């Protein structure tokens, strides 16, 4: 049976141990449901597809209104239009048409998927108090933070409310780092969590995630 609490490691900006953060085992300590994780990732990928691929049928290609030659007596195969799919420049048979690839999952399934991904990613979490140590939107300072945590050239997911005053420089400071993604805690993505090599989260973001998804238990 799972314990009531799970402890996430907390670090200073220098990458040194700064204690622990208690979170619910119902959010960060469950047995991940692989099937639900698969469904959630499929949903995120499908919902991200534009679905704008389009080809023209023979009825939409310009031209081809006149029969190219008479039906019989030429020795050639009969033809009714130069825009037949058999001709170069003709229409496309059963080609892609604009469509919506998205599908939905029940809320309980989506929540279970997020709790499963948080539990599967528990060991990746590095909690910091906040990002107020950033003096400005400086890539150099964010790169130094990655170096302090030993995360050079690794895929890093940052979870924090970058709209708050203490975290206001996180988004711009990370924008030029190709391996770093920044997300709001209420915009959690199962794919992002599973895909990341490490997750750096501010203490308030962890608390928000814990409270939000513990409420569904």
CA gap 216, 1 in Å, rounded = 19
Q: What is the pLDDT of residue 1?
A: 38
Apex 58 CA angle, 53 and 64, nearest 5: 135
**This prediction's pTM:** 0.83
CA gap 164, 72 in Å, rounded = 78
What residues does 24 pair with on adjacent strands? 5
Structure tokens at 157: 């997911």
Q: What is the pLDDT of residue 3?
A: 55
Model pLDDT for residues 8-48, shown as the tens digit of each residue: 999 998 888 888 999 999 999 999 999 999 999 999 999 99
With b meaning 16 or more CB within 10 Å and e meaning fewer, what string describes 97-132?
Answer: eeeeeeeeeeeebbbbbbbbbbbbbbebbbbbbbbe
At the top level of CATH, the class of 5-47+104-214 is alpha beta
Structure tokens at 90: 């003709």
Q: If you write DSSP's letter for every residue of 144-202 in order, what string do you get? A: HHHHHTT-TTS-EEEES-TTSGGGTTHHHHHTT-TTEEEE-GGG--HHHHHH-SEEEEE
CA gap 188, 53 in Å, rounded = 29
Q: What is the pLDDT of residue 2?
A: 46
Provide CATH 3.40.1370.10 ranges for the chain: 5-47+104-214
Model pLDDT for residues 52-94, shown as the tens digit of each residue: 999 999 999 999 999 999 999 999 999 999 999 999 999 999 9
């Amino acid at each position: 049976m799972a314990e009531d609490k799970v402890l996430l490691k907390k670090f200073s900006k220098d990458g040194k141990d700064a204690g622990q953060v208690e979170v619910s085992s119902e959010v960060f300590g469950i047995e991940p449901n692989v099937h639900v994780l698969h469904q959630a990732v499929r949903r995120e990928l499908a919902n991200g597809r534009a679905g704008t691929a389009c080809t023209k049928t023979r009825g939409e290609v310009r031209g081809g209104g006149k029969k190219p030659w008479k039906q019989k007596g030429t020795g050639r195969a009969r033809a009714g239009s130069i825009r037949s799919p058999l001709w170069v420049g003709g229409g496309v048979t059963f080609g892609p048409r604009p469509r919506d690839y998205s599908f939905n999952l029940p809320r309980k399934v989506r929540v279970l998927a997020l709790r499963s991904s948080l539990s599967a990613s528990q060991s990746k979490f590095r909690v910091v108090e906040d990002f107020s140590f950033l003096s400005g939107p400086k890539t150099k300072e964010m790169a130094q933070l990655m170096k302090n945590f030993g995360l050079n050239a690794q895929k890093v997911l940052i979870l924090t409310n970058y709209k708050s005053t203490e975290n206001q420089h996180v988004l711009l400071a990370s924008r030029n780092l190709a391996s770093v993604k920044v997300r709001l805690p209420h915009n959690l993505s199962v794919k992002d969590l599973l895909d990341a090599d490490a997750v750096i989260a501010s203490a308030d973001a962890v608390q928000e995630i814990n409270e939000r998804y513990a409420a569904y238990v």
